[in-house]
Structure 1
Amino acid sequence: MVLLGGALQAGPETVAGEKSAKAVTIHDQWSLPGILGGGVKTTDEYTEGNVFLVLPVISTVGRDGLLSGDVLFIEPYSSWGEQGEVAASLGLGWRHHFTTQSVSAVTKHDGHQAGFLEEGVFVGANFFVDMLDTQFDNQFWQLGVGAEVGTRYLEIRGELLHPAQ
């Protein structure tokens, strides 16, 4: 799933200083694709695999020619443990990125290492519904509400969990 933002106008300037319209290609659009990921956690006593998908529902990132903007997304997550445990979550999240960086920074890297706040700051919030089915066929449900703030180098996250009745 790919969500596209507003179109950029291109073409020679007219006498009034406005841009004349011309065909806009996909490369002239800002898009934010979904992210598919997964992993494996293991210790001497237990191994677990997981998979997740982050799907943007609405995105304003890049609409003004900057990497700033909002993203509203859904995130399904699931994991499986070696002793038969299965966990599943479904979340709705929002993030806003504060930056003055141009969208061209994504494709034109100048080789320097970004400073601590050079790429901006993000804030976000989320709501998740979680289910755990244990190896003993017990099922637990919980609701989670979270908040986050961060940069490329540092993230602070908090979460409040409440067991569902």
Structure 2
Amino acid sequence: MVVEIREATDADLPGIAAIWNPIIRDSVATFTTAEKSIDDLRAWRAERLANDHPILVARDAEGITGFAVYFQFRGGPGYAHTMELTIHLAKRARGQGTGRALMAALEEVARARGVHSLWGGCSGENPGAVAFHERCGFTRVATLPQVGRKYGRWFDLVLVQKILA
């Protein structure tokens, strides 16, 4: 059950690490292999804020249950209104509406900042992530074969997109 969704503060970074690091370590939901220290996350948050890309967190009575953020899809001014998103949930929050609430809040923030298009990149071995994005109104636009590598294996990347305008 989501109690609140708000912009993350430095005090939320341990909660974000507690969600993100097991996903990095134990799954192919991300192809990232380096776990995040609090210092890493502090620098990551500062960079997001410097680019006016806030990190949102969902909380319940027990603490942080998820986070969502977007960042420019590709470099250069021609892509200034196209963002890629990341959204991750604590295991206890999955299937409880937290992901949809975070996505709705992230879209609202993005629209208010002039974002035209949101993209997500989902591991081909994570069909639940693709289905989640589709339930949130995203369209599957491409599968990039064997572009991610983790655990000594190649993985496909499924790209999904939602036009916000």
Q: Give me the TM-score of the superposition, normalised by structure 2.
A: 0.28
Higher helix fraction (1 or 2): 2
Structure whose alpha-carbon radius of gyration is higher: 1
Q: Give me the TM-score of the superposition, normalised by structure 1.
A: 0.28
